[in-house]
């Protein structure tokens, strides 16, 4: 029960965070936003470890686990989340979130290709349903003059790229947790802290090249607050809860439950961000969640 509940709350966290990101992206470039978000979250996570007296856990999780967690952060949070923010800025929460959240499908395909897992009827059925759902979400026309067909195509393509990158990152995170040598909750937090801090350090190291004017230092306070809160909710609480879920139940149950965020995001996008959520977007989001469940549960 703990594993399922943790996965569900993680989905709720990943529903709130894109709303905060979308608000901040009106004042910040995606790369600047990601730098400030990762740095803020890293400070928060280390503060939590320090206050709780568990800072030493970072030295006990094992070098292999630490390296995998760090690589997961660089891949998923540096590259993947920068793409994610670009997609949010282009096509909004109600489209970007459902498409990006098909990453479990790619994770399964990688397992089939590289780990020799079997291709099943449910995998094929779930794949077809996810493809149809993605098509419905991405093909819906909008009356907004700010989103042209070109922008829509670019945003959808970036969201798909995000899903591919995230699938690699979550596989690395899962293996990092398996290799850790401490108790489950301590491992989850330590692995997640290593993951986020590696992304933050990489972003800061590359900031002279990717954010040449150091725009992340010039963001407004309310923008910093939105990004910091979004990072703490998604990268701190959300990913920690997913790690806890993976340590308690198998991925075939944890991932589908945590992947219901597209439905929540669609509703939040409509009511809070006033995005146009049509029948196609609604049905497409439902199909994406259903397809993911079939792929894993089946």
φ and ψ of 211, to 5 deg: -140, 65
> What residues does each domain of the chain span?
2-297
| pLDDT, one tens digit for every residue, the chain (298 residues) | 788 888 889 989 988 999 999 999 999 999 999 999 999 999 999 999 999 888 888 888 888 888 999 999 999 999 999 999 999 999 999 899 999 989 888 888 887 887 777 778 888 898 899 999 999 988 756 554 457 888 999 999 999 999 999 999 988 887 887 777 555 677 778 888 999 999 999 999 999 999 988 999 999 999 999 999 999 999 888 877 877 787 777 766 777 778 788 888 888 888 878 887 788 888 999 999 898 888 876 6
Q: Where are the alpha helices (DSSP H) in 211-250?
A: 221-231, 239-248
Predicted model pTM: 0.89
Burial of residue 136, with CB atoms counted within 10 A of its CB: 0-12 exposed, 13-18 middle, 19 or more buried: buried
């Amino acid at each position: 029960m703990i594993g399922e509940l943790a996965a569900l709350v993680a989905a709720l966290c990943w529903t709130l965070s894109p709303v905060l990101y979308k608000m901040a992206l009106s004042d910040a470039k995606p790369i600047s936003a990601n730098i400030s978000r990762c740095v803020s979250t890293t400070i928060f996570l280390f503060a939590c470890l320090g206050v709780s007296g568990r800072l030493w856990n970072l030295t006990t999780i094992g070098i292999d686990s630490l390296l995998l967690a760090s690589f997961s952060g660089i891949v998923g949070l540096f590259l993947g989340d920068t793409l994610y923010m670009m997609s949010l800025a282009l096509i909004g929460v109600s489209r970007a979130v459902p498409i990006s959240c098909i990453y479990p499908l790619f994770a399964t395909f990688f397992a089939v290709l590289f780990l020799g897992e079997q291709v099943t009827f449910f995998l094929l059925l779930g794949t077809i349903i996810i493809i149809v759902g993605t098509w419905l979400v991405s093909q819906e026309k909008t009356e907004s003059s700010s989103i042209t067909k070109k922008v829509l195509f670019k945003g959808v393509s970036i969201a798909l790229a995000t899903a591919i990158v995230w699938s690699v990152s979550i596989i690395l995170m899962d293996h990092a947790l398996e290799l850790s040598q401490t108790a489950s909750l301590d491992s989850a937090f330590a692995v997640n802290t290593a993951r986020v801090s590696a992304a933050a350090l990489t972003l800061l190291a590359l900031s002279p090249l990717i954010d040449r004017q150091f725009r992340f230092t010039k963001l407004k306070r309310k923008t910093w607050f939105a990004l910091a809160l979004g990072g703490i909710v998604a990268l701190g609480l959300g990913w920690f809860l997913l790690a806890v879920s993976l340590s308690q139940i198998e991925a075939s149950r944890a991932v589908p439950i945590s992947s219901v965020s597209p439905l929540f995001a669609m509703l939040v996008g409509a009511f809070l961000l006033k995005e146009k959520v049509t029948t196609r977007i609604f049905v497409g989001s439902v199909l994406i969640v259903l397809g993911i469940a079939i792929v894993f549960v089946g």
